[in-house]
A and B are shown apart, each in its own frame.
Chain A
Amino acid sequence: MINKKVANVQEALTGVEDNMTFMLGGFGLSGIPENAIAELVKLGVKGLTCISNNAGIDDFGLGLLLQKHQIKKMISSYVGENDEFEQQMLSGELDVELIPQGTLAERCRAAQAGFPAIYTPAGFGTEVAEGKETREFNGKMYVLEHAFQADFAFVKAWKGDDAGNLIFKGTARNFNPNMCGAAKITVAEVEELVPLGSLDPNQIHIPGIFVQRIFQGQTFEKRIEQRTVRKRS
């Protein structure tokens, strides 16, 4: 077994520097790498480019990095619910590239899978396709989108083992599996780091080969963005 376990978040983030490009898993606040984000705030690295579907809320998720003005550019599909983000975007401090959600996922997956680019129908005929190569296949038009190039991918899983194998839970899975192995170094934080052999190989979502470092997260607040319920009838 090739051991991917590191002692803590500090060790997991070794090598993180200013002006790097990061991928961060999560959809809204679900499945975000909370521990890595908290450590990035502590490290104070600046000039970051962050590839993440959303940008958190004012006081949680990537909003914490925005508060400290650590992010230079966001590449996302949807960035509502964040006043700090809006201010920095409107003032020109923050560069924002909005791309279709499926394109975001596939540009991660392409990087993971060794494809330099992919053709997608999403965005054809819209401003998203401006300046990009387009091509017709079987009578339909597609846009060429390039694989991301990132220094670190920070992902969050439910369970993992020392070999770096990962299992996700519910919709907290989202972009996390697609980002594993899509950057030079993939750092996985897990709610439960379990002994080797205790995960069923049939149930592994992401094999450890895609993960360079794994650690047991200290805290997972798992905040809910929109609490919707019904009454017990």
Chain B
Amino acid sequence: MLDKTGIAKRIAKEVKDGYYVNLGIGIPTLVANYVRNDIEVEFQSENGVLGMGPFPIEGEEDPDIINAGKQTITTLPGASFFDSAMSFSMIRGQHVDLTILGAMEVAENGDIANWKIPGRMVKGMGGAMDLVASAENIIVAMMHTNKRGESKLLKKCSLPLTGVGCVKKVVTNLAVLEVTKSGFKLLERAPGVTVENIKNATEGTLIIEGTIPEMTL
């Protein structure tokens, strides 16, 4: 079974040379730490920066340079700043190659819910609806089950949707799954996790073809 870092490490393998990537808050943010350093990748943050670098060295924080999580950041050589409309032109216009974000629920048809729990304080969708409505390649990073042990990979989302039919791949603490027309296709098992474990933790249709390899990190 993977921890959050493990999920980030596995997703980092999906990041290819020449990709522009938007990372959501939480596990997705960690992905940047594990991308191979022999490839060229640029990270976009929807508040208006392309070419994000690491956090600043203590004492060098700049209130005018932050990411979408409102954290102080730095930029790398070749970086650029732009306004919010242009930022979402990059996103809706499908110029960003890969979007990695967290979710509360994913349905077997690729629907995603990640912004609202009825009855609880709703903070808002931020840029998530724009990101999922447009990206060609969306990978969800999340735990396979919620705190009550209930599956987050469902036949149908129960929470209000963020986007419809958009998720392509899901990486959880248990497995890597591809969203196909007929359901969640199991691609890889996390270390020490059996196909049976994954079956038990998946409410949506699970497609198992042949032997499922254990993932390498």
Contact = CB atoms under 8 A, between A and B. Distances in A.
Interface of A: 27-31, 53, 76-80, 86, 89-90, 98-106, 108-109, 120-128, 158, 168-178, 205, 222-232
A105 B85 contact: yes
Nearest to B75: A170
Task: Give chain B's interface secondary structure class.
Answer: loop
B64 A222 contact: yes
B63 A101 contact: no
Contact of A103 (B55, B59, B81, B130): B130
Contacts of B43: none
Interface of B: 45-49, 54-73, 81-85, 87-88, 91-92, 111, 121-130, 133-134, 160-165
20 contacts: A27-B70, A28-B66, A79-B123, A102-B84, A106-B88, A122-B92, A125-B163, A168-B81, A169-B64, A171-B47, A171-B67, A172-B64, A173-B48, A174-B48, A175-B84, A223-B63, A229-B55, A229-B61, A230-B58, A232-B57
Contact of A126 (B45, B61, B161): B161
A30 B66 contact: yes
Nearest to B69: A226
A131 B111 CA distance: 21
A79 B123 CA distance: 5
B57 A27 contact: no
B124 A230 contact: no
For A29, A168, A226, A231, the residue with the greatest tally of chain B CB atoms inside 10 Å of its CB is: A226
Given A27-B48, A86-B121, A101-B88, A229 B63 contact: no
